[in-house]
């Protein structure tokens, strides 16, 4: 009898150790990437994008993952219709030609069970550069209202907009832009 129990437990632990990757869809109402920059040294301006879609594949046992995220650059929200137009203009995001910003990754970094960084490729205005997102918060658990598994992350990185051909008014309006990406995703 003890041998049967031992074999059953061994099989259960073995199957748990080989858990399959899980796919999560971004929840658009709580995935609102934002960006912050210095405006002429007077103030730090904070704006966001209101439309983001994508998927995250996460294998918490193997400590790996991937992300494929698209941001609708035309959904930029500065709080001012005038400034939304400026940011969508040719010298900055040029959304008439490049309406989408993307981030793709196959390189999730864990410290034990905690996600700490995501290395990937950020594409703005058709220019792709490597970036590392530093994960400031990470949590996976059953969603209390949706009754499905969900994961959330808040990650940051700093880029130079001139490297993406979006340098109008630099250096007066800062070249360095801090991106903060809060993500909530629901398991398929």
- Each residue of 57-110: pLDDT tens digit? 999 999 999 999 999 999 999 999 999 999 999 999 999 999 999 999 999 999
Residue 184: per-residue pLDDT: 97
Q: What is the pLDDT of residue 3?
A: 55
120 and 105 in contact (C-beta within 8 Å)?
yes
Closest to 52 measured CA to CA, from 178, 170, 176, 153: 153
Helix (H, G, I), strand (E, B) or coil at 173: strand
Q: Residues of the chain with pLDDT > 70: what percent?
A: 90
Cβ neighbours of 185 (radius 10 Å) = 25
> Across residues 115-123, what is the average pLDDT?
98
Q: pLDDT digits over 137-156, tens only?
A: 999 999 999 999 999 999 99
**What is the arithmetic mean of pLDDT over 16-25?**
80
pLDDT at 165 over 70: yes
CA 47 from chain center: how many Å? 16
Give the DSSP H/E element, type plus range, for residue 11.
Answer: helix 2-17
Phi and psi angles of residue 117, each rounded to the nearest 5 degrees, phi first? -160, 155
Which of left, alpha, beta for 75 (phi over 0: left; psi -120 to 50: alpha)? alpha
Write down the pTM of the prediction: 0.88
How many CA atoms does the CB half-sphere of 71 hold within 13 Å? 26
Instruction: With a cut of 70, say whether residue 170 has pLDDT above it.
Output: yes
CB atoms closer than 10 angstroms to residue 9: 10
What number is the average pLDDT over the span 3-30? 67
Quote the tokens at residue 101: 């910003």
Beta-carbon count within 10 A of 150 CB: 20
Assigned fold of 20-187: Lipocalin (2.40.128)
Residue 176's pLDDT is 98
């Amino acid at each position: 009898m003890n041998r049967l129990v031992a074999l059953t437990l061994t099989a259960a632990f073995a199957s748990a150790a080989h858990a399959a990757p899980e796919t999560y869809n971004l929840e658009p109402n709580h995935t609102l990437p934002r960006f912050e920059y210095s405006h002429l040294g007077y103030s730090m301006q904070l704006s966001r994008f209101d439309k983001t879609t994508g998927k995250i594949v996460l294998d918490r046992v193997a400590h790996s993952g991937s992300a494929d995220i698209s941001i609708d650059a035309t959904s930029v929200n500065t709080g001012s219709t005038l400034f939304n137009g400026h940011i969508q203009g040719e010298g900055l995001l040029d959304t008439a030609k490049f309406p989408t910003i993307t981030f793709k990754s196959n390189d999730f970094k864990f410290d034990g069970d905690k996600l700490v960084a995501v290395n990937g490729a950020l594409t703005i205005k058709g220019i792709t550069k490597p970036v590392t997102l530093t994960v400031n918060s990470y949590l996976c658990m059953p969603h209390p209202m949706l009754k499905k598994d969900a994961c959330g992350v808040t990650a940051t990185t700093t880029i130079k907009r001139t490297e993406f051909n979006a340098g109008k008014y630099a250096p007066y309006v800062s070249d360095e832009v801090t991106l903060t990406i809060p993500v909530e995703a629901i398991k398929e």
